[in-house]
Structure formats: C-alpha cells, structure tokens
C-alpha cells in the first residue's frame, strides 16, 4: 500500500536489539464505489449488493449470513468463511465495509472483483485500516444473485489475524490486545506493559494523540510474517513491528503493533517495556511522520522517548556503537535508511538504531526538548525528502548538516568513549 510504513524492535541473544523500518497494513473504506467499466453496470450493482450483505453479516455476528454469499458448491470456502467470522466473535467491530475498485468479466456469469476491505475497532480506531482483496464470483441463473467462489489477498497483500485462528481479546486501560494461539496470561501481561507505555509516550510527545494502542499477538513468527506479507526470516529477531499509514492527511490513521511472541519473550520486563513504548511512540507520532522523515529520525525519536525516563547509561543503551567508538571507529555520517534493513547485518542494524537515538538525544541535550519536537514536525511537514533535514536544521536548530554531523560525532565520543 502507498504511504505505508513499518517500524520494529529487535531482540538478539540476552540483549535487546532495536530494529525498525517501514510499516505493513490490515484494512479501510466505506460503502462500495463504482468500479472501472470492464463489466456491465448491472453486474457491478448486484456484486455490491452481495458485498453489502457480507458486511452486514460481520456487523451482526451472523456466521450463516456471512457464508450465505459464498457459492453453495464451494463447500471448503463456506466452511472456512464460517470459521473466520467465528474467530471475530469477541472483537469489538465498529465498522466493516467493502469498496469495489475494479471488476472484470470472466465469461458469462463469472467475474473477478478487486475489493478494498475496511474495518474499524470500536473505541480504538479513529479511522479505518484497509487491505485489498481479490474475489472471484459467479452468478446463479436461478436467483440472479452473485456468489463468491474464491477470496484471496491482493498481490503483495497479507493475511489477517482472523484467518489464523480464534482471536482472544484483552482490554487494558489504554490498550486492546488481540491474540491467536497465546495464553490469556501472556496477553494480559502484554496489555499491562502497553498500559504503562501509553502515558510514557504522552509525557514524551507534546501533541494530542489517541492515547490508546491496539496490539496483535500472532502464535508464531511465521504467522507474524503472514500478517506483514513478508518472509519470516526478516522478523526472527524482531520483537515488534508497527504498521500504519504515514501522516499529513490531518486524519489520524489506525496503527497496529504486531508482536513477535518468540523474540518478545526473550526480553526481560525492562526490554519489553522499552519495545512497546518505542512502538507506541510511532503510533503517537504517525501524523507527523512522512516520506520526508529519514529513518534515523523516526526510529531515533522512538528510542529517545522509550529511554527518556529510564535509568540506563548510554553504553548500556548503545553497546554496539560504544564498542565501535571505543575502538576508534566513529561513524562518519548519520545512519542511512538502508542501514535499518531487517535482513541486513545485525550489528549494522543495532548501530543504526543507536546512532539515531544519540542524534535525537543530542538535539534534546543541546537545543532542548521543545526544539527536538519542532525539528521532528518540520522535517515531516516538508514536501519531500530532498532538503527536508537541511531546511529543518537551518530553520529550527540554526545549524547545517555538516555542523550537526560534526557535533553528533563529538557527542558519540563524549557519551560512549
């Protein structure tokens, strides 16, 4: 999906490792808009009616109605659809809609529809999340209605949590945790940690935000990868990932924090708290984060917020970078976006996160926290990546990229040497 980002945290061995990048998505929309005209308008109208009946069945928790729009001959699909809506039984769905984006005729009485599925969780999502699906349909000559014969993610899309199993729901004071295949006690502990993260983020980020977070906990790292539409190898050391649309629209999008239960479990209570505070920071700052925001700033700020009130030394927070600095290998430049790749070298990844954190810490220490907030907003508000950091450095901090980099390198020596 366009304008979509992913951020993450890495856990490796017995020590926390930060890792992040660009977001994955779940679902959005309302109603059923007119599709491209590759099929008769009457077919589009009747298929929209089928989708509307399906959406109503979800909102009314009606498994029979949900399966009724599936072709009776597609018995395996009908069985799967009944299971899926049952998995959603305890999830507080506030809205569920389909929008028809394209329709192709596949011979007499057969068609393929591109559909945008959107849903909103009541009390947590101020806007829907969305995902694109592809449906094959057939018209029954007896009643003239269209029935679904296949339902799959669009190319490059991901599975949804309810496709993985029955969803267990835990409501925290500031969080909603949705888990599949995990124990109730584990989900309750995650909710308690998320509830601590939310006020910590509110204290670190001055702007109003939703003040709540939705956390998904799949059963395995492979299931996590399915939710993100990427290979599982990319996430084996990643403790959590945040998905959502980057901001600038003025309408807060819905984010999801997706936990890798295997890597997350390797962390102690402190590491888990840092991870969820980091990820929740991405939720809070999403509307101010854009394509103009370099990864070192978005990830560095999330780390800065997560460690802001923690009693840890810089060498404890940034062990890989400390080792390099103490060996005389001070980085020549701020981390590049490609340094944050999940599938890259783990030490390079850790150093990138640590370098981003120290860049934000430098701004807060030298110019003040208010300037750090203003700098983040200025960069994200720029029209594009080119010149965004340079202009914000000049207008907000009164410095240049060359001077800032030199100060950052000196700061690494003073904090880590």
Q: 144 and 245, same structural domain?
A: no
Tracing tokens 């267990």 back to the chain, one arrives at 168
Q: 272 and 172, same structural domain?
A: yes
Nearest to 338 by CA among 352, 317, 323, 357: 352
> pLDDT at residue 371 above 80?
yes
Q: 95 and 63, same structural domain?
A: yes
In terms of pLDDT, which residue wins out, 290 or 35?
290
Q: 167 and 57, same structural domain?
A: no
Q: Which of 226, 260, 289 is the last residue of a domain?
A: 289
31 lies in a domain?
no
Average pLDDT over residues 377-387: 96
Q: What CATH number is given to the structural domain containing 70? A: 3.10.450.50
Helix (H, G, I), strand (E, B), or coil: what is residue 272? helix
Average pLDDT over residues 173-193: 98
332 lies in a domain?
yes
Give per-residue pLDDT as tens, 21-70: 322 232 233 334 334 445 568 899 999 999 999 999 999 999 999 999 99
> pLDDT at residue 228 above 50?
yes
Q: What is the number of other CB atoms lying within 10 angstroms of the CB of residue 206?
A: 11
Q: 298 and 417, same structural domain?
A: yes
Q: 361 and 296, same structural domain?
A: yes
Nearest to 194 by CA among 310, 280, 282, 285: 280
36 lies in a domain?
no
Q: 417 and 298, same structural domain?
A: yes
Least confident stretch, 23-37, 75-89, 243-257, 296-310: 23-37
Q: 198 and 112, same structural domain?
A: no
Least confident stretch, 36-40, 69-73, 227-231, 282-286: 36-40
> pLDDT at residue 221 above 50?
yes
Q: What is the per-residue pLDDT for 254?
A: 67
Strand pairing partners for 277? Answer: none
Give per-residue pLDDT as tens, 312-353: 999 999 999 999 999 999 999 999 999 998 766 888 999 999
CA atoms of 26 and 214, how far apart (whole Å)? 12
Q: 63 and 14, same structural domain?
A: no
The mean predicted confidence, pLDDT, of the chain is 88
Q: Which of 289, 323, 347 is the last residue of a domain?
A: 289
> pLDDT at residue 293 above 50?
yes
Q: 71 and 169, same structural domain?
A: no
Lookup: tokens for 192: 């308690």
Q: 93 and 48, same structural domain?
A: yes
The tally of domains found in the chain comes to 3
- Band (173; pLDDT cuts 50, 70, 90): very high
Q: 235 and 212, same structural domain?
A: yes
* Domain coverage including residue 404: 292-417
Give per-residue pLDDT as tens, 108-124: 899 999 999 999 999 99
Percent of the chain at pLDDT > 90 equals 78
240 lies in a domain?
yes
32 lies in a domain?
no
């Amino acid at each position: 999906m366009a304008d979509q980002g992913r951020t993450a945290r890495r856990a490796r061995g017995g020590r926390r490792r930060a890792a992040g990048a660009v977001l994955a998505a779940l679902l959005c929309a309302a109603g059923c808009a007119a599709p491209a005209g590759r099929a008769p308008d009457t077919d589009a109208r009747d298929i929209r009616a089928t989708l509307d009946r399906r959406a109503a069945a979800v909102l009314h928790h009606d498994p029979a109605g949900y399966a009724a729009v599936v072709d009776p001959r597609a018995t395996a699909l009908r069985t799967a659809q009944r299971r899926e809506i049952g998995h959603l039984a305890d999830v507080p769905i506030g809205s569920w809609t389909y929008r028809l984006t394209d329709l192709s005729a596949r011979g007499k009485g057969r068609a393929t529809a591109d559909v945008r599925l959107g849903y909103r969780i009541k009390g947590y999502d101020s806007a829907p999340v969305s995902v694109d699906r592809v449906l094959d349909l057939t018209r029954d000559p007896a009643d003239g209605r269209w029935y679904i014969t296949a339902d799959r993610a669009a190319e490059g899309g991901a599975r949804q949590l309810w496709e993985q199993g029955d969803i267990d729901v835990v409501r925290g004071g500031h969080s909603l945790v949705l888990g599949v295949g995990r124990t109730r006690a584990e989900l309750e502990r995650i909710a308690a940690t998320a509830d601590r993260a939310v006020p910590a983020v509110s204290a670190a980020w001055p702007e109003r935000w939703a003040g709540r977070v939705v956390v998904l906990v799949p059963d395995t790292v492979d299931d996590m990868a399915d939710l993100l539409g990427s290979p599982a190898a990319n996430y084996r050391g990643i403790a959590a990932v945040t998905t959502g649309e980057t901001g600038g629209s003025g309408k807060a999008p819905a984010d999801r924090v997706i936990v890798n239960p295997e890597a997350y479990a390797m962390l102690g209570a402190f590491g888990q708290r840092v991870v969820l505070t980091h990820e929740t920071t991405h939720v809070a700052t999403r509307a101010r984060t854009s394509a103009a925001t370099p990864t070192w700033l978005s990830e560095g700020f999330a780390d800065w917020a997560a460690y802001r009130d923690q009693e840890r030394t810089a060498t404890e927070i940034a062990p890989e970078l400390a080792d390099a600095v103490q060996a005389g290998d001070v980085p020549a430049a701020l981390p590049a976006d490609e340094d944050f790749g999940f599938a890259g070298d783990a030490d390079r990844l850790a150093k990138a996160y640590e370098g981003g954190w120290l860049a934000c810490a430098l701004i807060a220490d030298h110019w003040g926290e208010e300037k750090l907030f203003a700098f983040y907003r200025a960069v994200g508000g720029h029209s594009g990546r080119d010149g965004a950091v340079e202009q914000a450095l000049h207008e907000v901090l009164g410095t240049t990229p060359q001077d800032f980099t030199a100060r950052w390198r000196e700061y690494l020596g003073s904090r880590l040497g």
